[in-house]
Amino acid sequence: DADVTQTPRNRITKTGKRIMLECSQTKGHDRMYWYRQDPGLGLRLIYYSFDVKDINKGEISDGYSVSRQAQAKFSLSLESAIPNQTALYFCATSDHGTGRETQYFGPGTRLLVL
């Protein structure tokens, strides 16, 4: 089984709808991240969490919210989806400490907002 899983893998929604993307990990890592990827722009950080009680905004948090339900689960919500939120969304995890900075990515969720 994959260490970092994301559901759904694909989602089509309409403008104004609320949607949630979910991420689960079995790596036992404290740190979790949400990114979005747009063509030609690489990955941009939306939110990150270093433990269950810690939530931090990333570079592009407007229009998004997150919930860290447990060490293994980190959800991303779009409160009122808009077309320019159409993108590929990735969840990632990492451990902490020197030598453990590698991030491990889920397979991604492709979101289309009509």
Closest to another protein by CB, 84 or 102: 102
Measured from the CB atom, the residue of 15 and 25 that comes closer to another protein is 25
Question: 94-99: long-range contacts (C-beta < 8 A, 24 or more apart)?
Answer: 94/29, 94/31, 94/33, 95/27, 95/29, 95/30, 95/31, 96/30, 96/31, 96/50
Tell me how far, at minimum, the Cβ of 16 lies from another protein, in Å.
27
Q: Which is nearer to another protein, 2 or 82 (CB)?
A: 2
Query: For residues 25 and 32, is the Cβ–Cβ distance under 8 A?
Result: yes
**Position 73 contacts another protein (CB under 8 A):** no
Amino acid identity of residue 97, one-letter, is: G
Q: Is 95 in the site for another protein (CB under 8 A)?
A: no
Q: What is the C-alpha to C-alpha distance for residues 15 and 21, in angstroms, rounded to an integer?
A: 16
Q: Are 6 and 105 in contact (CB under 8 A)?
A: no
- Which region among 20-28, 43-51, 67-75, 77-85 touches another protein (by CB under 8 A)? 43-51
Give SS3 for 72: coil
Q: 46 or 78, CB closer to another protein?
A: 46
Q: Which residues bind another protein (CB under 8 A)?
A: 4, 31, 33, 35, 40-45, 48, 50, 58-59, 88, 90, 92, 96, 101-108, 110
